[in-house]
Amino acid sequence: MRSETPINVPQHVAIIMDGNGRWANARGLPRTAGHRAGVERVREAVRTAAEADVKYLTLFAFSSENWNRPKQEVSDLMGLLRFFIRRDLAELHRENVRVRVIGCRQSIQPDIKALLVEAEERTRENTGISLVIAFNYGARDEMVRAVREIAEAVKSGDMDPASITETTVAGHIDTAGIPDPDLVIRTSGEQRLSNFLLWQAAYAEFVFMPCLWPDFDRAAFHEALNEFGRRDRRYGAVAAPELAVGS
């Protein structure tokens, strides 16, 4: 019988959680109902990833472009974030999950900023799966902020422009110290990155799932993991030729 979890498990899985609104609309419910259902699915995704021995799970929770949504929907999303952290932080801590947050923290509400800091500080010493929450995150904004930091270092004389390498840039983006994602999953059938981990996903495998995020259950997660396990990752190299018969 085939194992539920593939032998070749990605170290880092990143997920674009798409489709909450469409899930609600299809059921004649307000969009907030879809977001609430999506929050419940986050809990299951963290457990499934941990059980599969994934080391890092990054979730695209709120993009820097999401502020352009209707004010009431943004307010509801902020309320759900508060609810998730206040309700689930203790459980995540008990389960040895380390929480990290990426994204720009300028101009976000002070109480939310405090909750994000609390989540990181409380779980900092945990050694289980790392749950990386991309909040107020946009990859282009991330790279602009990284370039500014590097430029300031050059301006102050602390860095030689000739010494700047890919490693230098990687050390200034939000995910510094976190390995690049091996697998990027997007739900809802859409096939684009939407300004998510543009630098980090350079060699990631992509799996686009037709289901909407609130329907992305344990079985769907394992389907994506098994698809990853079937991929041949060459990082630009040429695959070794098969041995000729009789050789």
Which tens digits make up the pLDDT trace of 136-148?
999 999 999 999 9
Specify binding-site residues for Mg(2+): 18, 205
* Catalytic residue check, 18: yes
**pLDDT higher at 240 or 85:** 85
**pLDDT higher at 3 or 13:** 13
* Catalytic residue check, 66: yes
Taking residues 198-215, report their average pLDDT: 98
Identify the active-site residue in 66, 126, 195, 226: 66
Identify the active-site residue in 8, 18, 136, 180: 18
Taking residues 44-66, report their average pLDDT: 95
Tens digit of pLDDT for each residue in 8-34? 999 999 999 999 999 999 999 999 999
**Quick one: pLDDT at residue 2?**
44
- Could you give all domains of the chain from N- to C-terminal order, each with its CATH number? 12-138+180-226 (3.40.1180.10)
**Beta strands 183-186 and 130-137: pairing type?**
unpaired
Specify binding-site residues for substrate: 19-23, 31, 35, 63-65, 67, 69, 186, 192-194
| Half-sphere exposure at residue 113, Cβ-oriented, CA atoms within 13 angstroms | 7
Distances (CA, A) of 44 to 29, 37, 215, 218: 22, 11, 11, 7
- Quote the tokens at residue 23: 């899930």
Taking residues 226-234, report their average pLDDT: 90
pTM of the model: 0.90
Distance in angstroms (rounded) separating the CA atoms of residues 85 and 169: 31
Specify binding-site residues: 18-23, 31, 35, 63-65, 67, 69, 186, 192-194, 205
pLDDT-derived band of residue 6, with 50, 70 and 90 as boundaries? low
**pLDDT higher at 218 or 5:** 218
**Quick one: pLDDT at residue 73?**
86
Tens digit of pLDDT for each residue in 97-126? 999 999 998 888 899 999 999 999 999 999
Tens digit of pLDDT for each residue in 158-177? 999 999 999 999 999 999 99
DSSP H or E run through 185: strand 183-186
